[in-house]
Structure 1
Amino acid sequence: MALPELEPGVLPPGTERLRGEVRDFLRAADFEPRCDSWLTGADPEFSRALGARGWLGMTLPVEYGGRGRSPLERFVVIEELLAAGAPVGAHWIADRQMGPSILANGTEEQKRRFLPAIARGECFFAIGMSEPDAGSDLASVRTRAERADGGWRLSGTKVWTSGAHIAHAMVVLARSTPGATRHEGLSQFIVELPSDGVTIRPIRGLSGEHHFNEVVFDGAPAELFGREGDGWRQVTAELAYERSGPERFLSTFALVRLMCSLSPGAASGRLLGRLWALRQASLAVAGALADGRTPDLEAAMVKDLGTRFEREVIEVAREQLGVEPDPASPDQAARMLAQAVVQAPGFTLRGGTNEILRGIVARGLGVR
C-alpha cells in the first residue's frame, strides 16, 4: 500500500508583494463579505476589475491573454479573495478549470476565442456533468451527442449547473458512442449560450437564491472539445483543479475570521490549527500542478477533509457566537451564519460526494 507523496508547497519569491497588492485592492473595493462567495457571490463588474489587474487566467500563456504566472502565485490571489469573502462567483469556473482545460485540450481556434476573454473577465463558463437520478455517479451519463452537419447535436439534461444563467458557454460531458465500459464512449462538447435547443431553469436554494440550474438540451448545437471518446480522461484531469483549491476549506473563512474577532478562545484556535494544515495540503497539490502532475488522489483527500472542516466551522460558530442564523438580520454574525447554514448541505456533495471521494482514495491506496 503506497501513501501519496507530495513535496510541501513552497511559495515562490515575490508572492508576499503580490499578496499585499491584492489586499490593497480588496480594501478599496466595495462589497459585503459573505460565506461561499465563490459559488453565490457573482458580480461580473468585479470579475472584469480582477481581469484588468491580471488576476484572472494568471497561469495561461501570454500569447493567449494570460500572464504566464505559476499556480502557486495564483494560489496567493485566490486565497486572499476567498478569505475576504469577495464576489468571485461569475468567473470562478472559467478561471479555475476551464481555462487550463481549454489550453490542454482545445483547438487553436478555441484557445484564441475563449482564453483571452476568460483572462479579461468577459467570458464565464458553466460545466455540465451531473445528471438527474445519477447522484455522484458521473459515469452514468445519459446525455447523448449525435453528429450533425457542421458539428454535433446534444440531447439530455444536466442538473446542479452553477452559473449557467450568466455563463457565455458551457462544457458538457455526453455519450458520443457506445463503449465497452461506462467510462468509454464519452466526449466533451462546448455549447455557447444562449443557444437554440438549450433551456435553463433555476434551481432555488434554501434561502431562495439562484445559482444552481437545470439545463435541458433538445438538439442543441455543440462543438467537440478535445478528442472524441476521451471525455472521461479530460473530466478527471479537470477535477484535480476543482477539488484541491483553497475554496474547499475557505468557503466559511469569513465566518471564522468574524468568530475569532468576536469570540476568541480555544475553539477558534483549534479551527485555525486545522485550517493551516489543510492549507498546507492544498498548497502541496498546487505545487504538484505547477510541476505538470495531475494529483487526483491528493486532490480528493483535500476536498474530503476540507468540506468536513467547513461544516464543523458552522457548529463551532453556533456555540461561540450565541446568535440565531438570520439572513435579514442587521447583525453581521447572524447574516453570515445564515449564509453558511443554507450552503452547508452542499459542502460535502459538490465536486463529488465525500463517500465517492473516499472510494477514489481507497482505490489509489490499493485497499479497494
Structure 2
Amino acid sequence: MTLRITAVDAPPGALHELRLEVREFLRREIAAGGFEPEADAWMSGVDPAFSRRLAGRGWVGMTVPARYGGHGRSALERYVVTEELLVAGAPVAAHWIADRQMAPGILRNGSEEQKHRYLPGIVRAEQFMAIGMSEPDSGSDLASVRTRAVEVDGGWRLTGTKVWTSVAHIATAIVVLARTDEGGDRHSGLSQFIVDLPHPAVTISPIITIDGAHHFNEVVFDDAVVPQSALLGRRGDGWRQVTAELGNERSGPERFLSALPLLLAWTRTGAFADDPLARADLGRLVSRLTALRQLSLAVAERLSAGENPAVEAALVKDLGTAFEGEMVDVVRRHVDPASGAVPEQLAAMLAKAVLHVPAFTLRGGTNEVLRSIVAKGLTGR
C-alpha cells in the first residue's frame, strides 16, 4: 500500500505540476544524500544549506510580494510545497519560522524599512528568525510575560528571559514580545520588537532535549538597547499581532503531518497487509488525516483572506497534535524493533518519534490552553 497526500482541492493543472516538481526535487535530494528522511524534521532538521537550495527553486517566501524580493505566489501553492516537504521528512527547521510566521507578520505590521530589510533575506533563506514568546514560569500564558522594553534616547532597552526559543542559535534576528506599558487588562501594553543577532547584550544558551539534540534555547536580554526602528507594528498592539502569528503557527499541515514519514515508512514494509487489527488502525488514521487536512486548508484560506481565525487554528493544533501522537502509538504497537525484521531506517525513525511525542502537545501552546481558546471563542459566538 502506498499512502499519499493527493492534490489540494483544485483541478489538475498548475498545482498538480508544482506538487510533482517538488516531489521530484526531493526524490533527487534523498538519492544524492542531501538529507535522510525523518519524522518531525520541521522542528529538529536544521540544515541552512538545504533551506538555501529550496530558496533557489523559489520555494521559500513564496507568498512574499515581488517588490520585497518574493515570488508573489498563492497561499495554496505554498501549502502544496509545505505538504510535500513534511511528507518527505525534509530538514526545513532553519527557515521554517521566518517563512511561516515572520514573513506574514512583517508584511502585516512592519514598516516599509523593515519589509525591505528583512523580507528579501527570508526569501533567499539567508535571514533566519526566532520568536521570543515563552518565558520561565509562564508556560503558554503569553499575557504574563515579564520581559520589559523601556523607551530610551534613540531606542528601547529590553530586559528579560525567553525559553524554548527555536533556532535562536542560528537566527539572524529574533522577534520579541515585551511589555512596554502598564494598565488596562493583561493583554494590553504588549509590543513586538525585531532584534538583530548577534547582539552584545543578548545571550543565547542551548537547551538540550531528551534525544540529545539542540533545537531550543534560552535567550537572555540584559539591558539590550535596540533602535526605535526595531518596534514591529504599533506600540501596545503586540497581543493582536501575536495572536495573528499564532494562527499561522497552529493551523498548518505540520500540526498533523510531523509523524507521517514514520507512518509511511511502516506502510512501505507491507507488514500490515495480513493483520486485520493493523489494517483497521491504518484506516482510522487515514480517515482522520483527511478530515484534519480539510480543516487546516479552511483555516489557510481564511488567513490568506486577511482574517484571524484564532479559534479554528487552535482546534487544528489541538486535534492535529493528538493525532500525531496516535500515529506514533499505532506504529509502535505493530512494530517490534527487537525482532530483527524491522528495517533500520524505520527503527531509527520510531525511536526518535517516541522521544518527540511529549513535545507535540506542548509547542505552540498546550492542549489545555488551546481548548480554553476554543471554549471561550465558541461561548462568545
TM superposition score normalised by structure 2:
0.91
**Alpha carbons of 1:343 and 1:60: their partners in 2 closer, same or farther (altered >3 Å)?**
same
Task: Report what 1:290 is aligned to.
Answer: 304
Task: Report what 1:356 is aligned to.
Answer: 369
Query: Structure 1 unaligned runs (5+)?
Result: 1-8
User: Is the counterpart of residue 135 in structure 1 residue 149 in structure 2?
Assistant: no
**Alpha carbons of 1:237 and 1:364: their partners in 2 closer, same or farther (altered >3 Å)?**
same
Task: Report what 1:273 is aligned to.
Answer: 287
Identity %: 63
RMSD between aligned alpha carbons? 1.6
1:272 alignment partner AA? V
Which residue of 256, 265, 270 corresponds with 2:263?
Answer: 256
Which residue of 105, 114, 117 corresponds with 1:110?
Answer: 114
Checking the alignment, whether the CA contact within 8 Å between 1:201 and 1:213 is kept in structure 2 is yes
Distance 1:300 1:11 in 2: 26
Secondary structure at 2:89 match in 1: coil
User: Is the counterpart of residue 224 in structure 1 residue 231 in structure 2?
Assistant: yes
Question: How many angstroms does 1:324 deviate by?
Answer: 5.7
Task: Report what 1:336 is aligned to.
Answer: 349
Checking the alignment, whether the CA contact within 8 Å between 1:131 and 1:159 is kept in structure 2 is yes
Task: Report what 2:249 is aligned to.
Answer: 242
Moved more, 279-288 or 163-172: 279-288
Distance 1:273 1:20 in 2: 24
TM superposition score normalised by structure 1:
0.94
Task: Report what 1:4 is aligned to.
Answer: none
Task: Report what 1:163 is aligned to.
Answer: 167
4+ residue segments displaced more than 4 Å? none
Secondary structure at 2:379 match in 1: coil
User: Is the counterpart of residue 74 in structure 1 residue 78 in structure 2?
Assistant: yes
Distance 1:10 1:349 in 2: 31
**Alpha carbons of 1:92 and 1:33: their partners in 2 closer, same or farther (altered >3 Å)?**
same
Which residue of 185, 199, 203 corresponds with 1:199?
Answer: 203
Query: Superposed, which structure 2 residues align to 1:61-100 within 5 Å?
Result: 61-100=65-104
Question: How many angstroms does 1:70 deviate by?
Answer: 1.1
Query: Structure 2 unaligned runs (5+)?
Result: 1-7, 273-278
Distance 1:11 1:132 in 2: 45
Distance 2:312 2:174 in 1: 27
Secondary structure at 1:139 match in 2: helix
2:267 alignment partner AA? C
Question: How many angstroms does 1:149 deviate by?
Answer: 2.5
Question: How many angstroms does 1:286 deviate by?
Answer: 1.2
Could you give the per-residue CA deviations for residues 23-71 of structure 1, whole angstroms, max 9, x where no partner exists?
Answer: 1110111210001111100100111111111111111101011111111
Distance 1:153 1:216 in 2: 13
Checking the alignment, whether the CA contact within 8 Å between 1:196 and 1:221 is kept in structure 2 is no
Could you give the per-residue CA deviations for residues 62-95 of structure 1, whole angstroms, max 9, x where no partner exists?
Answer: 1011111111110000000000000000000000
Secondary structure at 1:91 match in 2: helix
Question: How many angstroms does 1:330 deviate by?
Answer: 7.7
Which residue of 176, 181, 186 corresponds with 2:185?
Answer: 181
Secondary structure at 1:259 match in 2: helix
